[in-house]
Amino acid sequence: MHEAIAYYQKALVYNFQYADAYYNLGVAYGETGTLFKKTCRPGLHTNTSLCPGEFDKAVVSYELAIHFNPSCCEAYNNLGVIYKDRDNLERAIQCYLAALNVNPKFSQTLNNLGVVYTVQGKVKILSFTFSKKV
């Protein structure tokens, strides 16, 4: 994964506005953070921000991907997943809704939004949002 990150960063040296490279960096940093988190031993890292510092880099990368390509619904969705995993459900919802503004039928985001609304007990909002988007 680190080799892929190096190549995405190299691509950005040649074109700092290359949204796809930022998106791919976000994916790679997210995967690196997930892999690192899985190898953490219980009790060694109790604070999530200590274990997967790569998630902060993923957030920045997705935000830059969105900045340079506001129609990248995948970046909004993946950013929402990070916020959901960090228990920032309101921010996750904002990201998911932004993704659906770009692509109202993006099934992955519809599913992720449904999960968050279900966790929050907002079934009525879920029904309304789903019927509006489909």
Res 2: pLDDT: 86
95 with 128, same domain: the answer is yes
101 with 132, same domain: the answer is yes
3 with 56, same domain: the answer is yes
Cα three-residue angle 78-80-82, rounded to 5 degrees: 75
84 with 57, same domain: the answer is no
Reported pTM: 0.79
Pick from 28, 43, 69: which residue ends a domain? 69
- pLDDT digit string (tens) for the chain, length 134 residues: 789 999 999 999 999 999 999 999 999 998 887 655 544 444 443 333 334 567 899 999 999 999 999 999 999 999 999 999 999 999 999 999 999 999 999 999 999 999 999 988 887 666 655 566 55
Report residue 126 as tokens. 């879920």
Pick from 47, 69, 91: which residue ends a domain? 69
Read off the CATH number of the domain in which 96 is found. Answer: 1.25.40.10
Query: What is the tally of structural domains in the chain?
Result: 2
For residue 102, how many other CB atoms are within 10 A of its CB?
18
Domain that holds residue 126: 72-134
Report residue 83 as tokens. 């916020």
Res 129: pLDDT: 59
Pick from 48, 69, 90: which residue ends a domain? 69
